[in-house]
Amino acid sequence: MQNILDELINLLSQDKRLVQNGRLFKNKVVALALKPDGQLLKMLCSHPEIKSIFFSDIDGTLVFDKVKFQQFVNNKEFLPDSYTAFKNKIGLQSGDEFLREGKDVVLSWPFRDTVLEGGQTTESSSRGEVFWHEVLAASEIDTLLAPKVFCNFKRYTASGQKKAEHLSASDNLIIKGNNLVALHSIKKVFAGRIKLIYIDPPYNTGNDGFGYNDRFNHSSWLTFMKNRLEVARDLLSDDGSIWINIDDGESHYLKVLCDELFGRENFVINFIWQKKYSPANDARWFSDNHDHILVFAKNKELFRPNLLPRSEAMNQRYANPDNDPRGPWKPGGFSVKTYSKDYDYPIETPSGKVVYPPKGSCWQTSRESYLKKLADNRIYFGPRGDSKPQLKQFLSEVQQGMVCKSIWTYDEVGHNQVSRSEILKLFGEFAFSTPKPEKLLKRIIELSSNPGERVLDFFMGSGTTPAVAHKTGRKYIGIEQMNYIESVAVKRLQKVIEGEKGGISPEAGWSGGGNFVYMELKKLNMQYIDRLNTADTSASLEKLFREVAFSPFANYRFGAMPLHKLEKHFLSLDLPERKRLIMDMLDKNQLYLNLSEIEDEDHKISLTCKKLNLGFYNIKR
């Protein structure tokens, strides 16, 4: 798709009224547009794509949208292949309305209305991120986010791995590839079917060691999260919820963003997790000992969290000194401070002593109700039968669980050192720098889902979420784009299937079993990017340059340049600049193979791979 803004600038520059000293003045363009000027409108209509953007056909009459045109021109700084109304004028709009005309509180920032592909394959690699505009480059967006072909299917069981021969809706899935692209691919199958989404995204700190490119500027990070949360919302079941682990740096911005995406009315709670067990005495200001876990429901009216199990200490408070056939009980107060004259009456104890409620209080039931409870042996007068009455509260009748509190201490759910220790026991080294404790994920999963329901983590990292989901009987999908997915997460899950005894295994009574399917997004231009990341010689880069230059998936802008001129320019650059040029030559819209092209013989997709893809997407042929 041609760059619309470049085309518009070239077109407007032909009007001498708008140009002075070779420079196009946007204030003159806006002034003529607001008249509106017939010559300008005729010129705009001469370009089919520009005409389709700024003109509407209403009953055979072309109507010029001068407000949209003015916004476009006033924001003429732009990204390649796209235009964003939010690049310069922060807070200008929400959707298609000016903020001052709306009633909602929204978070606006530069590049808000773009799509950030956010690709990376290794911890050390980074590149210029790719932005796509949602409206003016709609055809590119549709292609970028269309369902993709999966490949390299492997099924892991206790006996090892083998090529997968079939897929079913109940399979546990581990997917390698860009998480935005993967989410839009699985949306075709799992929209409205995910009970719980837990994510531990990059915190945007710049120094926390997280494997992803965690050095986004603030605006890019918000765009990165917005794109993924939008599709995550579509994946949730109506009674599902999303739990997001984040620190203070972005938590408050993320809360406002989620208010907008999920609805402020669907905010459930902000849990505080004590992630460190000791203070950081070398902190410059204060010791940061907690993380936030933001919880939003798809529909709060339908979301019903589970109770936490009662602890043994809680149950030990109950005894049965009188051998009551209803089992253990504990005494509870029988008076209340909300006074009622009808509930203020004398009671005679078994010892013959007459007692009254405390001054200013009354009994909690009427005399008639009291006598019924007394006859049912539900009133206790102390070991000697001469105390004020107490109500017997039976363990069998209390709520078999407790409502979860909003502050989680490390002795309840673990801390960072515990999670590092878990990884060390699994791999003999710190294979991942910031894993989360299995006890933390166990609490989240058990509060928000039931056995057999599906859990999704699209920042899978070391694989804690699927590992705990597997041990607690949930179905799961894990997505990870980093190359360590097989050496860390997949290896960890293989150990889980074999019955590893670390983490929550003793508590969950885990002894092994089950299986999962590993699969990858089928690469197109991503294979060039992988090679580019490892190329370190002039010869390897020159070979890669020629392959990309002749590739049908090269960026169209470079196709118009004579190859000998492009090659001459390439050879004049140093190695880092050559890498950047090759990266620019790749069409980022063609990173992975679209499902619609699975029958194209040029891609050499095997019959087994086709069968598995068609089965996964439930396509009948």
Q: Does residue 112 or residue 489 have the better pLDDT?
A: 489
pLDDT at site 189: 93
pLDDT at site 103: 62
Helix/strand/coil percent split, the chain, to 5: 40, 20, 40
pLDDT above 80 for 77: no
Cα separation, 14 vs 9, in Å, equals: 9
At 455, give phi and psi (nearest 5°). Answer: -115, 140
CA 136 to centroid of chain Cα atoms: 26
**What SS3 class is residue 526?**
helix
**What SS3 class is residue 139?**
helix
Retrieve residue 274's tokens.
Answer: 């004590």
Return the top range by mean pLDDT from 82-86, 378-382, 394-398, 427-431.
Answer: 378-382
C-alpha radius of gyration, the chain, whole number: 32
DSSP calls for 101-128: G--S-----TTTTEEE----SSTT---P
> Is the bond into 36 cis (omega within 30 degrees of 0)?
yes
Cα separation, 253 vs 261, in Å, equals: 13
Q: How confident is the model at residue 79 (pLDDT cuts 50, 70, 90)?
A: very low
Q: Does residue 104 or residue 357 have the better pLDDT?
A: 357
- Burial (0-12, 13-18, 19+ Cβ within 10 Å), 180: buried
**What SS3 class is residue 399?**
coil
pLDDT > 70: percent of the chain: 86
**What SS3 class is residue 4?**
helix
Considering only 12-26, 77-91, 190-204, 441-455, which range has the smallest mean pLDDT? 77-91
What does DSSP assign to residue 350? Answer: T
Q: Which is nearest to 518 in space by CA: 494, 552, 551?
A: 494
* Buried/exposed code over 405-425 (b: 16+ C-beta within 10 A; e: otherwise): eeebebebbbbbebbbbbbee
pLDDT > 90: percent of the chain: 46
Question: Mean pLDDT across the chain, nearest whole number?
Answer: 84
**What SS3 class is residue 496?**
helix
Q: What angle do CA 385, 389, 391 make, to 5 degrees?
A: 115
* Buried/exposed code over 13-38 (b: 16+ C-beta within 10 A; e: otherwise): eebeebeeeeebebeebeebbeeeee
User: What average pLDDT does range 326-341 have in this prediction?
Assistant: 93
Cα separation, 418 vs 436, in Å, equals: 8
pLDDT tens digits, residue range 572-591? 998 888 888 888 888 878 88
Phi-psi map region of 401: left, alpha, beta (phi>0 left; psi -120 to 50 alpha): left
pLDDT above 70 for 314: yes
Q: Does residue 6 or residue 486 have the better pLDDT?
A: 486
Retrieve residue 379's tokens.
Answer: 């009133």
Q: What angle do CA 431, 197, 159 make, to 5 degrees?
A: 50
**What SS3 class is residue 586?**
strand
Q: Does residue 498 or residue 87 have the better pLDDT?
A: 498
Sign of the C-alpha dihedral, residues 192, 196, 200, 204? positive
Our CA dihedral for 298, 476, 492, 305, rounded to 10 degrees, sits at 50
DSSP H stretches of helix in 244-350: 248-262, 312-315
Intra-chain end-to-end CA distance of the chain, in Å: 32
Q: Does residue 140 or residue 173 have the better pLDDT?
A: 173
Residues 6+ apart with CB under 8 A from 320: 327, 328, 329
DSSP calls for 402-416: BPPPSEE-HHHH--H
**What SS3 class is residue 7?**
helix
pLDDT tens digits, residue range 248-265? 988 999 999 999 999 999
Whether the CB-CB separation of 293 and 196 falls below 8 Å is answered with: no
Q: How confident is the model at residue 567 (pLDDT cuts 50, 70, 90)?
A: confident
Whether the CB-CB separation of 225 and 257 falls below 8 Å is answered with: yes
Q: How many of the other CB atoms lie within 10 Å of CB of 243?
A: 22
Whether the CB-CB separation of 330 and 319 falls below 8 Å is answered with: yes
Q: How confident is the model at residue 415 (pLDDT cuts 50, 70, 90)?
A: confident
**What SS3 class is residue 66?**
helix
Q: Which is nearest to 111 in space by CA: 2, 225, 3?
A: 225
pLDDT at site 372: 95
Q: Which is nearest to 271 in space by CA: 297, 306, 295?
A: 295
Contacts 24+ apart (CB under 8 A), 578-584: 578/538, 578/541, 578/545, 579/532, 579/535, 579/541, 580/128, 581/545, 582/528, 582/532, 582/541, 582/544, 582/545, 582/548, 583/127, 583/128, 583/529, 583/532, 584/555, 584/558
Retrieve residue 111's tokens.
Answer: 């590049």
pLDDT above 60 for 134: no
Contacts 24+ apart (CB under 8 A), 396-404: 396/326, 396/327, 396/328, 397/326, 399/307, 400/307, 400/310, 401/306, 401/307, 401/308, 401/309, 401/310, 402/307, 402/308, 402/310, 402/314, 403/307, 403/308, 404/305, 404/307, 404/308, 404/443, 404/447
pLDDT at site 396: 87
